[in-house]
Amino acid sequence: MAMRTTRRTRRAAARTTATHARRPAPRAAARPAGGAAAATRASGNGRAPSPARAGSPPPAAPSPALAAQRLAWEKRYAQAKERPDLYPFTISGIPIKPLYTADDLAGMDLGRDLGFPGEYPYTRGVHSTMYRGRMFTMRQFSGFATPRESNERYHRLLGAGQTGLSIAFDNPTIMGYDSDHPKAHGEVGKCGVAVDSLRDMEVLLDGIDPGRISTSMTINGPASIMFGFYLANAEKRGVRFADLRGTLQNDILKEYIAQKCWCFPPRPSLRIIVDLIAFATRHVPQWNPISISGYHIREAGSTAAQELAFTLADGFTYVEACLERGLDIDAFAPRLSFFWNSHLDFFEEIAKLRAARRIWARHMRERYRAKKKESWLMRFHTQTAGCSLWDKQPENNIVRTAFEALAGVLGGTQSLHTNSMDETIALPSDKAVKIALRTQQIIAHELGVTETIDPLAGSYYVESLTSTLEQQAEAYFRQIDGMGGVVAGIERGFFQREIGRAAYQYQQEMEKKQRVIVGVNEYLEPDEKLEIPILYIPEAVEDEQKRAIAEVKRTRDNKACTAALKALTAAARKPAGEANLMERILDCARAYATEGEIRGAMREVFGDYVESAEF
C-alpha cells in the first residue's frame, strides 16, 4: 500500500452557490475540459449521446414563500463564518456547494435519467427488487501461502457465512511465473496463494463443489491459464462447464494503465481475451469471462471521475474487439461484468456507481445497438479501498471500511468485499477477516439500508453529483477517441500521466492538511504500539511449492504435455480468429503443464512488453 501523510488548513470560499470555488491547479489540469460541452452530444465519433439537457422540461418556479426563505438563508449564510479548515471539494475535485436545491436538477428528466429499478437506464439498480429479492453476495478476497493453507481458510469463511469464493493469487502467479522461477524468489505465497498447475487447483478447491458455489478469480495477464486449471478441475470432478458460476477478472487494459502485471503486449493480449470470451459464451454460459476493473485504477491514485471514465472506456474497447471478431453482442454482452472501488468520499462513490450503470446502458443500447435488455445491464462487484487503509492506528480501518462498504451497498452493488484492518501491513489474519465479514453482515441485516431500493434517489446533492460525474466521463471519452482509442492512449502514456497527476494532487492535499486522515496527519499517537495479530508467511512455503512442481513434472505424461504445449504455440502463430487459444490452453491444463510452461508456449510468438517511462 502507498503510505500517505498530513493535511493543511485553508479556507475555501464556498458561499451560497459556491460556483466561484476552484481547486488548486494540479487537479484541474488532471482532467479534460468539460463544463457545458461535456453535457452535449459527442460529435462525429460514434459515441452514444451524452446526457444532454436541452429540451428537458424547465424546473417549476419556486413559490414566493420558498423564494423568500431562500433569500433569507443566503443572507444569514453570507454573514456567518465558515470554519477555517473547510475544503469543499470531492476527491475528484468537484466543488461542493453548502446547499443543494431543486435548481441543481434543472434539465433532469425523471424518465430518461432516473427511471425505476430494473428498468432502463438502470440508474436505480439492475434488478426490480434489488436487496428485497436477493441480498448482495458476500465475497471475501482470500488466498495465501500454499493451496492447502488457503483451502483451510476457504472452509472457515464458508462456515462463517460467506456466500462466494474470491481467490487472491500471489505475485509470481499473477505475472505468469512458476514458483521455481528465479523471479519468483522471495514472493511465493506472500500476497496470495501460489497456483502453478492443475494439481494446485485441485488442492485449493478440495471439498468445495464448483457446481454449487460462485467463484471469483482476480487475475489478468495469465487469466486464461487459471481459467483452464479451474475448468479442468471441474471436469475431473464430473461437473459440467454449463453448471459453473463465477467471474474471471481478465481485464488486461487496466494492467497497462494501473496495476502493471502483464504477460504479453496489449494487442496479442486482447486476442487472448476475445478467444476466452468466445469460448465461455459457447461452453460456460453462466460464467462472467471478464470483470472490467476500475478498482486498480483507483488504487493507483485516480479520482472517482477518472476511474469511471477509464474503466468504461476499457469496457467499450473489449466490446469493439469482440464485434470485430464477429461475435454477436447479445450473445456475449450479458456476461460482461465490472469491478469498482469504493473509496472514502461517501456521496461521490454512490454517485459514481449510479452514473456507471446509466452510461453503460446508454452506450450499449444506443451506440452498439444491443437488443437484449440483459446486454444493457451493468452488474458489478465492489471492494472497499485498500489505498485508504493505514498502518497507523489500524483499528481505524474497520470504520473506514464500514462506510466504504455502505457506499457500495447504497450504490447498488451485486457483490461486496470488505478489506481487513491489517491489510496495509500484511495479509489479513483470521480475526481481521472475520471482522470484515461481520461488517458486511451488519450492513445487510441491522441498518435497514437493504429494505428499500436506492434510498438516496432524488437527493439534490446525489443526483447533481451523479450527472456531473457522467458529464466528466463523457468528456474523457471524447478525449480518448481523439487520440485513437484506449490502446493508443496506453502506448502514448496518457492514462498513466492522468493518474499520476491526480495522485500527486491527493498527496499534496494530505501533506497540506486539506484532507484530514485520522491517526495519520491529525490525532496522532506518537507512542503507539501495534496490538493486532499479524499473519506471517514463512519462507518454507516457497520450498513446498518447488517440491510440488517437481512432483507434477515427475508424475505427469510428459509426452502428452509437450504435444499440448506445441499445439498451443502453433495456434498462437495463426491469425486471430483461426484458432481459439482458450481451447489449446485448456488442453495444456489437462496435461498438467505448469503456468510458466503455458505462458512460455505463447511467449515464443507474442514476446514481452516493456512500458515506456513516464515523468
Q: d(Cα 469, Cα 307) in Å, to the nearest integer?
A: 10
Q: What is the rounded CA–CA span in Å between residue 475 and residue 185?
A: 44
Can you tell me the mean pLDDT for 417-429? 91
Report strand pairing: 165-168 vs 215-218: parallel
Q: 3-state DSSP call for residue 106?
A: coil
Instruction: Determine which helix (DSSP H) or strand (DSSP E) holds 218, and give its type and residue range.
Output: strand 215-218
- In the block, which residue shows the cell 489437462? 590
CA gyration radius for the chain? 25
Q: How many helices (H) and strands (E) does the chain have?
A: 22, 10
Q: Strand 246-248 to strand 215-218: parallel, antiparallel, or no bridges (unpaired)? A: parallel
> Between these two residues, 536 and 444, which has the higher pLDDT value?
444
Residues 6+ apart with CB under 8 A from 79: none
* Whole-angstrom distance, CA of residue 440 vs CA of residue 8: 34
> Concatenated DSSP letters for 124-178?
T-SSSSGGGTSPPEE--EE--BSHHHHHHHHHHHHHTT--SEEEEBPHHHHHT--
In this prediction, residue 57 carries a pLDDT of 60
Whether pLDDT at 9 is above 60:
no
Q: Is pLDDT above 80 for 40?
A: no
Contact 340, 413 (CB under 8 A): yes
Pairwise pLDDT comparison (143 vs 580), residue with the higher score: 580
Among 233, 191, 226, 243, which Cα is nearest to 208's? 233
117: left (phi over 0), alpha (psi -120 to 50) or beta: beta
Amino acid 56: pLDDT: 58
Q: What is the mean pLDDT of residues 282-307?
A: 97
> What cell numbers appear for 242 in the block?
454449463
* Whether the predicted pLDDT of 528 surpasses 50: yes
Residue 26 reports pLDDT greater than 70: no
**Cis ω before 147 (30° cut-off from 0):** no
| Greatest mean pLDDT range, 41-45, 428-432, 463-467 | 463-467
Write down the residue that cell numbers 465490472 correspond to: 338
Question: Given this model, what pLDDT does residue 42 score?
Answer: 35
Chain position carrying cell 481523439: 482
Binning pLDDT at 50, 70 and 90, where does residue 536 land? Answer: confident
CA separation for the pair 502, 305 (Å, rounded):
11
Residue 96 three-state SS? coil
Q: Count CB-CB contacts under 10 A for residue 484.
A: 11
223 in Cβ contact with 195 (< 8 Å) = no
CATH of 123-511, one of 3.40.50.1100, 3.20.20.240, 2.40.128.130, 3.40.50.2300: 3.20.20.240
Check residue 613 and give its pLDDT.
73
Q: Rounded to whole angstroms, how far apart are CA atoms 609 and 435?
A: 40
44: burial class by Cβ within 10 Å (0-12, 13-18, 19+)?
A: exposed
Output the pLDDT for position 612: 78
Q: How far apart (Å, rounded) are the C-alpha atoms in residues 288 and 285?
A: 8
Phi, psi of 379 (to 5 degrees): -95, 135
Sequential DSSP letters for 281-301: HHH-TTEE-EEEE-HHHHHTT
- Confidence category of residue 51, pLDDT binned at 50, 70, 90: low
What integer best gives the mean pLDDT of the chain? Answer: 90
255 within 8 A of 609, measured Cβ to Cβ: no
- 339 has a pLDDT exceeding 80: yes
Please compute the mean of the pLDDT values over residues 260-289 and round it to a whole number: 96
Summarised one tens digit per residue, pLDDT across range 117-127 is 999 999 999 99
User: In the prediction, which pLDDT does 166 show?
Assistant: 86
Range of lowest pLDDT (132-141, 171-180, 368-377): 132-141
Phi, psi of 59 (to 5 degrees): -65, 150
Check if the beta carbon of residue 137 is closer than 8 Å to that of residue 425. no
The half-sphere exposure of 213 on its side-chain side, counting CA atoms within 13 A, is: 23
Mean pLDDT of 555-565: 98
Neighbouring-strand partners of residue 380: 338
pLDDT band at 162 (very low <50, low <70, confident <90, very high): confident
CB 310 within 8 A of CB 257: yes
CA distance 380 to 126: 10
pLDDT digits (tens, 9 = 90+) for 358-417: 999 999 999 999 999 999 999 999 999 999 999 999 999 999 999 999 999 999 999 999
State the pLDDT at residue 104.
95
Q: What gap in Å lies between CA 225 and CA 229, rounded to an integer?
A: 6
Burial string for 408-440 (b: 16+ CB within 10 Å, else e) reads bbbbbbbbbbbbbbbbbbbbbbeebbbbbbebb
Please tell me the distance from the alpha carbon of residue 437 to that of residue 492, in angstroms, as a whole number: 41
For residue 136, pLDDT over 60 is answered with yes
Amino acid at 549: I
Say if residue 25's pLDDT is above 80.
no
Beta carbons within 8 Å of 193's beta carbon, 6+ residues apart: 143, 144, 145, 146, 147, 149, 150, 167, 168, 169, 170, 173, 204
Between CA 608 and CA 102 the distance in angstroms is: 55
Cell of 260: 502493471
| Average confidence (pLDDT) over 160-170 | 87
CB of 413 closer than 8 Å to CB of 136: yes
208-265 pLDDT, tens digit each: 999 999 999 999 999 999 999 999 999 999 999 999 999 999 999 999 999 999 999 9
E strand or H helix that includes residue 33:
none
- The predicted-structure confidence for 57-113, as pLDDT tens digits, reads as follows 666 677 899 999 999 999 999 999 999 999 999 999 999 999 999 999 998 999 999
Place 533 in a pLDDT band, splitting at 50, 70 and 90. Answer: confident
Cell 499517537 belongs to: 525
Domains in the chain: boundaries: 123-511, 540-606
